[in-house]
Structures are given as C-alpha cells and as structure tokens.
Amino acid sequence: MKEKLQELKTRLAEIDDLQCANAVLGWDQSTYLPAGGAPARGRQMSTLARLAQEKFIDPVIGHLLDELQPYAESLPYDSDEASLVRVTARDYERALKVPPAFLGQFYEHSAITYQAWTEARPANDFAKVRPLLEKTLDLSRQMADFFPGYQHIADPLIDFADFGMRAETVSALFAELRQALVPIVQAITSQPLADDACLRRNYPEAQQLAFSQDVLQRIGYDFQRGRLDKTHHPFTTRFSVNDVRITTRYDENYLNDCLFSVIHEGGHALYELGVHQDLENTPLASGTSAGVHESQSRLWENLVGRSRAFWEFFYPRLQATFPAQLQDTPLDEFYRAINRVQRSLVRVDADEVTYNLHVMLRFDFELALLEGSLAVKDLPEAWHERFRADFGISAPDDRDGVLQDVHWYGGVIGGAFQGYTLGNILSAAFFEQALKAHPQIPDEMRQGKFDTLLGWLITNIYAPGRKFTAPELIERVTGGPIRIEPYIRYLKNKYGELYTL
C-alpha cells in the first residue's frame, strides 16, 4: 500500500506543479505582462490547465484511489494519508462528471464574456452582454445537471466553492442574518454620517506602500515567502506553501483603498502560508472553502485591522508617515472614519455592516435566475427595484447596478457570492474562540504584537489545509454548526460604541 500511496502522491505532485506554474503565469498576467504578450499568455495558460486536467482524470488515478480507500479508512481520519485519499477521491469524482469538451466550451465562453463586460461596464451597456449572460445561465444550468440528485439547482454550484453548503441552508442563515442586520443598519444610517475627510487627503503611493509593508510584516506576513505587487483588482495567489503573493492598488486621494485591501489579501495569504509544510505539493495544501478563506481575510481586515486596539499601536506610526495629512486628526476621528457606515451602491466599497445586504441581493438573484423565476432580460430592472427596497437609494445606471461585479461575467451564475457573507459570519465566530483561548489578544494588538492570535489561527484553522470540510472545521473550532450570533454580538458591540443602537 505504501508504494501505491507513493505513486498517487507522485502523480498529484506533478499536477500541482502544473497548476502552480499556471498560477505564476496568471500572476504575471495581472502584474507585469506587457499588452503584446496577452494572446500568447492566454494560450499558454489554457494548455497548462488542460494538461493538469488530463493528468488528473486519468483512470490510473481512479484505480489507485479505489485500491487505497480501504487502507485510508483504516487510518485516523485526520492523518495526512487518510485525508489525502479522501479529499482527492472527492475532487476526482467531481472532475469526472464534467466532460472536458464542456469545460473547454465554458472557458472559451467565459473569456469572451469577460472581454465584453470590460467594455460594457464603462459604456453602461447591459444589452451588449445580455445574450452572453443568457448563454452563461444556460451553461451554468448544464453544469449543475452534471451532478443530478440535487435539491436545488444551485446546490452543485454552491458546492464548488463552499463544499457541504446548500441553497436551503444558506438561504435560512441569510434570512436570519437579515432580520438581525436591518435594524442595525437603520439605526446607524438614521444618525449623522461619520466624517471621513481625513482619509481623502493626498497620500503619495511610495509612503502608502512603505506603511502597508510595515503592517504586513508586523501581522506576520513573511516577505521571504511572499511579495507585494501592484495590480488593478487586488488578489492573492499561491505557488507553494512557501511562496504566497499578494497584490494591491493605490488611490493617492483615498487612504482606505490600498491599506485595507493589503490587510484583506494579507489575511488570505496568512491562511495559505500557515498550511502545514508536510502538505506541500499535495491537493491538501490550500484553504478549505471560499467562506473559510474569506473569514480569514475579513478577520484580519475588520476584526483586527479596523479595531481600536490595532490603531492604538499603528496610528502614531501612520501619523509619522503622513505628518502633514494627519497630525491634526485625533485617533478617535480616524477610527470613526475607517468604520463609517453608509448605504452605498457598490459592494466592494461597502462597509462591514451593509456589505452583507449586497451579497444577499446577488445570492437571491442567482437562485431566481437558475430556477427560471427571473429572466436575464428582466435582471437590470429587478436589480434596481430590489436595491431601492433594501438600501433606500437608487443606482443611476447599470454600471453600478447589474454590471458592477465581474463574477457572472467570468464564471458560472450560482455559488459565486455566498462565501463573502459566510466569511463575515465565520470571522467573528472564529475570533470569539481565539479570544476565549487567549483573552490577552487585544492587549497584545495594542503593542503591535499578533503572534498569539496568528499562532492560534495556524494551529486551529490554517495548518490542516483542506483536510476538513468547512462544516467539519467549524464544528471542531466552535463546537457546533455555523451560527450568526457571534457576528451580531461583534457588530452590536463595536458599533454600539460608535453609534446609538
């Protein structure tokens, strides 16, 4: 059995090498690639993706997994070997169900749609992408149908990103969250808007970069095992457990943009860098689900990076970096500014309280589109209507309505959004457990120390990589299923100090 296991590992390592090499090409494409290189790069990336896919769906892998399954089941559930066989078998079964020809067709269609979207959004021209989006919806339904036996047609698509979650469970959780959230949003937005003028002064890029690097280093991001580069849409990418890179963008007239996207991506990166070294070069060496991944970017961005304790340490340093801009702004004013809550049009700019309402709107539309109760042609109007009902404001056009997010224009319709809100809910649930284990964490943050928190996160959440599904991990860490209470407690606590709730 040891030999068979070794053979499986060798094959999976080669596939991981191909995928990571492809990720390097993708990182380069989004950072340094000159425009002339784009067509060749697209071709190179799809060749590598195809080779990796072919190697993975090879029947030899299926035979090895069959032979290894009884052996794996005889081992402890959380052992590296048992987990490798179990998780790979799950990935393998899923990969076999989608015909390669369909996948090729889907990628090609996505590339065309994405290109059309980059032109349609600035032109506010939904009609341009409408037929493409109709085809995306059709392909998304076909994708779901490769996994028959579902309760809701969105279930298989939700499963891709958040394995173990279903439309029904997510809908119920979101309904509960909505009920608790709407009164908080109403209470806050009926009070005077916080003044964020201090964030909108001129902040030169070079100093923003220096300050961001300092923050990253202090929270535990290791520049020997990563880099920070510039891009249009910030992201994190992993080439190895020892090479996880992040990207950011700069707005010289708005401090938040770079600062908080660096901490956000830094959180994603700390997760990937915290996976145990023994899992390197295997399918287990990554985060376990979209929701859990987002819980870590949100934990570092909001529960740490937007906390008063964090800024008690960092604000004097920020003032020293930007004396002309901030010397007359007291910490309290800055803290209120970075935690300003307002009803706004664009999801990615939304504060942590209203953000989830944006996600719920998209999640509900995904279900309605897939069910067929909403047609693509009616989507822009439905969007405006729902937005007015949920936020009490109107988007002037589709640019900041149905055209604002890339997700549907570069992937499937279904499963694309729930992870963001699951992440918010989980960030508070996990942080509460960390505080229970180490009540000194906020005091340490006041001194610019984060190793106790990071150590707890590595041990409990990062090190296992993909060994446990999200529901299993949540159960192990919090002692039960996902619940909204810790998140609501966190919001009421924090915003109860800033506003009258």
**Residues labelled catalytic:** 265
In the complex, minimum distance from the CB of residue 264 to Zn ion, in angstroms, rounded to a whole number: 6
Measure the CA–CA gap between 384 and 124, rounded to whole angstroms.
Answer: 14
The distance of Cα 363 from the centroid of its chain, to the nearest Å, equals 15
In the complex, minimum distance from the CB of residue 221 to Zn ion, in angstroms, rounded to a whole number: 15
Sign of CA dihedral 317, 322, 324, 328: negative
Judged by beta carbon, residue 235 or residue 254, the one nearer Zn ion is 235
Measure the CA–CA gap between 145 and 151, rounded to whole angstroms.
Answer: 12
Query: Are 404 and 417 within 8 A, CB to CB?
Result: no
In the complex, minimum distance from the CB of residue 115 to Zn ion, in angstroms, rounded to a whole number: 24
Sign of CA dihedral 27, 31, 36, 38: positive
Judged by beta carbon, residue 237 or residue 297, the one nearer Zn ion is 297
Judged by beta carbon, residue 380 or residue 465, the one nearer Zn ion is 465
In the complex, minimum distance from the CB of residue 74 to Zn ion, in angstroms, rounded to a whole number: 38
Judged by beta carbon, residue 113 or residue 297, the one nearer Zn ion is 297
Structural element, H or E, at residue 236: strand 236-240
Judged by beta carbon, residue 266 or residue 414, the one nearer Zn ion is 266
CB-count burial class (<10 Å; 0-12, 13-18, 19+) for 101: exposed
Judged by beta carbon, residue 289 or residue 297, the one nearer Zn ion is 297
Judged by beta carbon, residue 22 or residue 297, the one nearer Zn ion is 297
Cα Rg of the chain (Å, integer): 23
In the complex, minimum distance from the CB of residue 202 to Zn ion, in angstroms, rounded to a whole number: 28
Instruction: Give every CB contact of residue 377 below 8 A, 6+ residues apart in sequence.
Output: 130, 134
Query: What does each C-alpha distance from 208 to 175, 220, 221, 224, 320 come to in angstroms?
Result: 39, 19, 17, 21, 12
Query: Are 465 and 272 within 8 A, CB to CB?
Result: no
Measure the CA–CA gap between 256 and 250, rounded to whole angstroms.
Answer: 9
In the complex, minimum distance from the CB of residue 158 to Zn ion, in angstroms, rounded to a whole number: 17
Q: Which of 489, 471, 490 is nearest to 481 (CA)?
A: 471
Measure the CA–CA gap between 398 and 198, rounded to whole angstroms.
Answer: 31
Measure the CA–CA gap between 88 and 288, rounded to whole angstroms.
Answer: 13
Residue nearest to Zn ion (CB): 297
Q: Which amino acid is at 348?
A: V
Measure the CA–CA gap between 249 and 466, rounded to whole angstroms.
Answer: 30
Query: How long a stretch of residues is the chain?
Result: 501
Judged by beta carbon, residue 167 or residue 292, the one nearer Zn ion is 292
In the complex, minimum distance from the CB of residue 3 to Zn ion, in angstroms, rounded to a whole number: 41
Site residues (CB under 5 A) for Zn ion? 297
* DSSP, res 207: H
Kindly list the strands in the beta sheet with 228-230, ordered across the sheet, starting from the edge strand earlier in the chain.
228-230, 243-248, 236-240
Parallel, antiparallel or unpaired: strands 236-240 and 228-230: unpaired
In the complex, minimum distance from the CB of residue 355 to Zn ion, in angstroms, rounded to a whole number: 12
